[in-house]
Structure 1
Amino acid sequence: MEKTLLQRIEAFLTESRMPPSVLGRDAVHDPRLVSDLRGGRAVGRSVECRVEHFMNRWRAERHAGRIGPSGDRRTRAMRAATMEARP
């Protein structure tokens, strides 16, 4: 039995530690995509393919060692600022 797009996205979000809004924005320029899918939104084949392509490309880049897990950009920025402020 094939998983739904939402199930594949949820697994990806867990794997990548990427916020849902970042996935939607980067994949299809729609930061509400994941929340809308969770609310029952149906998407067309084009959007589904773009999301799948984004997740596959991210995994390939991660496997090649070119990127790390995304995490929350706000947390990462605050952590960097804190590290710079230390003597």
Structure 2
Amino acid sequence: MIKVLDAVRSVLESTVKSGTVRVENIHNLVVDYARGFVDNEDKEVDRDSIYQLVRDITAEIGGFADDVLDVAEDARDTVKDSAPKISKE
């Protein structure tokens, strides 16, 4: 049972850490995009740049999903490896 609790704790810690990093990355993407308009006030909105921003944000969200799945798989393997072995003799 202790192994299961440790696995759950590890999943939560890793998920929160990954989520925090991904949110920071998204924040930086948006700030960089906004700064581009502050520096070029007379510049028109460039559709390609906003779509690139959306693609970059989507990539971060996909990366977070991958991180969560990796953590869940690791936890499953940890719990499975710690399960008592039943002998069929």
Superposed pair shares fold, TM > 0.5: no
User: How does the TM-score come out when normalised to structure 2?
Assistant: 0.30
> Max radius of gyration: which structure?
2
User: Relative contact order (C-alpha < 8 Å, sep 6+): which is higher?
Assistant: 2
